[in-house]
Amino acid sequence: MLQNPTYQTPALQINFNKCISCQNCVDLCEFSILKTCDNSFPLVQETRNQKKQMRISLNTSDCISCGQCVIACPTQAISINQSILKLDKTKINIAILSPAVLIAVQEKFGEKFIFSHLITFLKQHNFELFFDASYGVDLVIKEEVNMVIAAKKAQKFIIGSQCSGVCQLIEKQFPQYLTNLSTVKNQYNALSSYIKHVYSQKMQMDPDKFFIVHFTPCLVEKEFKFRKDISKDVDLVISTVELLEFMDQNNFVNTKDINDQFTQNFNSISKFAKQFQVPGYYTELLARQIFSSYSESFDMSQINISSLQKYDRFNQSIKLLSFTSGNFFFTFVIANGAKAVLDVFQMIKNGKLSPDFVECLICNTGCCNGGGMPQKFSFIDIVHRSQQLMANTKLVKTNEDKNPDIEEFYQSSDVQIIKQNYIPYSD
């Protein structure tokens, strides 16, 4: 056995002693980052005998930490590098909760489980304030519209930054498109900045006492936590799997008749923002907002949706969404899954595709199948997660009117806090 069999990144860890050489991770990785081991694993001093036990190799310089290999591994040889959910009672502990997190909790505790139950549980463990990550989508969408329209006029295109894995992919494999990457923070980081710099002032609270924890299905966010150019307002990132284990360790019991809610004034969220973790809904919200920016009424009949490419593997797809607004003809691309994302960028590179906006979700079927979610080996079960997220949206009150707090935010200089100065890695 290897004396030190574990290799770690901020998001992943690999225990070579658990590897059974099934090659599931190698087959699933569309980026060819994982390979069967002809050479030793990087950064590990090995002897010839040890080399035989290292059954996979990982190209760490190109890995984007999407975590799809974690989902594929049957022995947990590749697993989440877990963080300890240890809170300081002298701090104001704040939870930002992703809609996809609720799906996984419902799988474990039943579909009658709602966010109120989770908020009650977290209150019992020193959390004080609670925010739905969907609010972050409504927070950034207007600035995204401004970017897309400005890029259209300049004959350029924008790549949405709502999927952190795509940001990593562009940086490492398509650096020529770094200037096309949206400088709007993703929903988690934008909301964190808003809480620390705007909400704290409104409530006359000391932001230095805030400790913000993201509960997310995304493993890339665990790595982004260490990037000061993007996530400086985030204190801790906890995956869905880690949250479920924390609930087990603390003997969670699903209590009836509770009414704990998200923090006041943060319940006003649009329906499409609630659905942002399902492929295409962020883009549809963006299209709706473009019509609104030109004071034009919106109807789905004005949108032409076509399929550019489908894949047999995991229902990945590339779709085109086109429409005319403000005397401009817009073409948006929705890439669902890693293979689809790679193909879209190759088509753009080869001049076969000229989009105005590209929505990319690395994880097949979206964030409900993120690397930080519990394993589901049945594709039917994975699809059910997206369906459950849509069903959950119907159970909550959504707001299609303009949010006065967000309108006020855009009239102030504070709007700069949702923008990111994306600085590429330097080794």
Write the pLDDT tens digit of every residue in 199-224: 999 999 999 999 999 999 999 999 88
Residue 161 has pLDDT above 60, yes or no: yes
Predicted confidence at residue 399, as pLDDT, reads 59
- Report percent pLDDT > 90 for the chain: 47
Q: To which residue do tokens 């035989």 refer? A: 52
Predicted confidence at residue 39, as pLDDT, reads 43
Q: pLDDT band at residue 53, thresholds of 50, 70 and 90?
A: low
Beta strands in 198-249 (DSSP E): 210-216, 236-239
Determine which of 224-228, 269-273, 295-299 has the lowest per-residue pLDDT on average. Answer: 224-228
Bigger pLDDT: 358 vs 400 = 358
Predicted confidence at residue 390, as pLDDT, reads 81
Contact 40, 30 (CB under 8 A): no
- Report percent pLDDT > 70 for the chain: 85
Does the predicted TM-score (pTM) go above 0.95?
Answer: no
Predicted confidence at residue 37, as pLDDT, reads 56
Bigger pLDDT: 144 vs 85 = 144
> 235-267, pLDDT tens digit by residue?
999 999 999 999 999 988 776 666 778 886 666
* Strands, sheet with 127-132, edge to edge from the N-terminal-most edge strand: 127-132, 92-97, 210-216, 236-239
Token readout for 368 is 């409900």
> 100-122, pLDDT tens digit by residue?
998 888 888 887 777 788 888 99
- How many Å apart are CA 145 and CA 195, to the nearest integer? 22
CB atoms closer than 10 angstroms to residue 258: 14
Residue 279 has pLDDT above 70, yes or no: yes
Look at residues 212, 210, 252, 220 and name the one whose alpha carbon lies nearest to residue 131.
Answer: 212
Bigger pLDDT: 6 vs 336 = 336
- How many Å apart are CA 255 and CA 377, to the nearest integer? 30
Q: pLDDT band at residue 35, thresholds of 50, 70 and 90?
A: low
Predicted confidence at residue 40, as pLDDT, reads 41
CA 266 to chain centroid: 20
C-alpha pair distances (Å), 353 with each of 128, 280, 308, 350, 358: 48, 18, 10, 8, 11
Look at residues 143, 210, 202, 151 and name the one whose alpha carbon lies nearest to residue 418.
Answer: 143
Residue 3 has pLDDT above 60, yes or no: no
Mean pLDDT, rounded, for 226-230? 72
Predicted confidence at residue 106, as pLDDT, reads 86
Residue 335 has pLDDT above 90, yes or no: yes
Residue 281 has pLDDT above 50, yes or no: yes
Residue 52 has pLDDT above 70, yes or no: no
Predicted confidence at residue 312, as pLDDT, reads 77
Bigger pLDDT: 214 vs 427 = 214
Mean pLDDT, rounded, for 293-316? 87
Q: Which domains does the chain have, with CATH numbers?
A: 6-80 (3.30.70.20), 92-422 (3.40.950.10)
Mean pLDDT, rounded, for 135-140? 93
- How many Å apart are CA 388 and CA 394, to the nearest integer? 10
Mean pLDDT, rounded, for 48-69? 70
